[in-house]
Chain A
């Protein structure tokens, strides 16, 4: 089933002459894990905002083409209507937590949906368990580390049981270890529930391992798209995307004349490719 379908989507913020995204075409299947990346100002955040109707209901501007999210036309929906289906995790954890205890914050979304108390309680417990923050239940967000705060933000989105979760650079305020844990938490979600994940991320070393598909954007357009091993070629480098180190190494080797026949994304894939090559050379 297609959950997101964008066709010739173009959006220009009011007051700006150049469109932030231009003629974007994309289809996302249910349950896919998609990583969107690209240099700053490439339009990835703008695209993310379209997914839960922050564009055009919150940010004004001119929209052409259309985008359907779970069959709903976003130009006719509001963000709060869509929030039941599309969860959105923002960059700065500080500005998306509203309460002074973790538990209450996770409960905030379901409460706003007008759910009965027992259901809210059930969802809060579940969401805290999935993200591993149950022990922080009574802590105040400002007492937590950035990584923990971001986990709370993810939990509070999960508690609304969305079909799609959009994460807009959730690790950019975090140290490497916390970033790693956040990506792990996100990838674990797929085993817990039927969910489509759209992750906007610069740290491709971490995120690529789990991605079904990587989308590289530049100047408002999709430049490259496909499974990570197909995308991290020299073109991606040229745009200025921080492709995984191991992919970069293989690209460099290829340039020097040692074509290993693939672009690995993880260390395991790389060692396999090298071992294969050695075997071939021997025989």
Chain B
């Protein structure tokens, strides 16, 4: 399950209009969705926010991976719903909170699926983040699938030696994961040493003002998307402040069902 969640955030080098888009408007879209989903608790708005992403995801030819990331988040989403509902929130409000979580996952899944960590690094550099910091970040993003693959290999290896992962209660299960965790950590440390060696050998950090081969450049479509996103965001903020929205909330709460 957890590996599937990562799959939904892993960059795929497809050649679609969304992939080709400059990373900055894409980041703007993701952050705007983030902001709007935080501003609104109205279930209709949140539903619109989720559905509005579908055409983009379809354009990026990433529907399957996107649904994987949602499925990966399903357990947590269910948990959010149950916790809200049990603590006395209305049914609609609990659903909204769950939906908000899914909107967030979906927005960032769309961003990471279609934005190369390299491009993300360039954006961070533009934001005047120190190069070592942006490099660390992009390397972490890049290594997630590699480490996930390694974890799978270790799981297979330990299973073939008779390790049973899915038996016993939750404590027992956690304990059974220790033989997975230790080799994984050891190999991660070894990998990081090798990476550091290779970085040293490529003159990493030897020069203050490095110039990147690739530079970001916005096309008119990128400007168009950015402006459209900002307008939608502003409209959203305006509506939130001054226009009351119809509420679907019929105050269905847990105790009232019980009573």
Contacts and interface: CB of A to CB of B under 8 A. Distances in A.
Nearest to A138: B13
Contacts of A84: 203
A96 B205 contact: no
A100 B118 contact: yes
Contact of B146 (A94, A108, A112): A94
Interface residues of A, number: 44
Contacts of A142: 145-146
B203 A80 contact: yes
Contacts of A139: 13
Interface in B180-236: 191, 194-214
A143 interface: yes
Contacts of A94: 146
Given A58-B196, A100-B116, A83 B214 contact: no
A52 B201 CA distance: 8
A156 B202 contact: yes
B231 to A, nearest CB: 32
B194 A121 contact: no
Interface size class of chain B, counting residues whose CB lies under 8 Å from the partner chain: 20 to 34
A92 to B, nearest CB: 6
A14 interface: no
Given A83-B200, A100-B11, A112 B206 contact: yes
B198 to A, nearest CB: 4
Contacts of A114: 206-211
B253 interface: no
B25 interface: no
A16 interface: no
Given A98-B139, A104-B214, A81 B206 contact: yes
Interface in A43-82: 52, 54, 57-58, 78-81
A283 interface: no
Given A83-B206, A90-B194, A101-B118, A120 B211 contact: yes
B117 interface: yes
Contact of B206 (A80, A96, A103): A80
Interface in B85-120: 116-118
Contacts of B199: 98
A95 B195 contact: yes
A70 to B, nearest CB: 16
Interface in A101-133: 101, 103-104, 107-109, 111-117, 120-121, 124
B142 interface: yes
Given A87-B201, A112-B205, A115-B211, 8 more contacts: A90-B201, A95-B191, A96-B195, A107-B212, A109-B202, A112-B210, A116-B211, A142-B145
Q: Can you list the 10 inter-chain pairs with the closest CB atoms, starting with the nearest? A: A114-B207, A80-B206, A96-B198, A107-B213, A79-B200, A95-B194, A112-B203, A83-B203, A88-B201, A109-B202
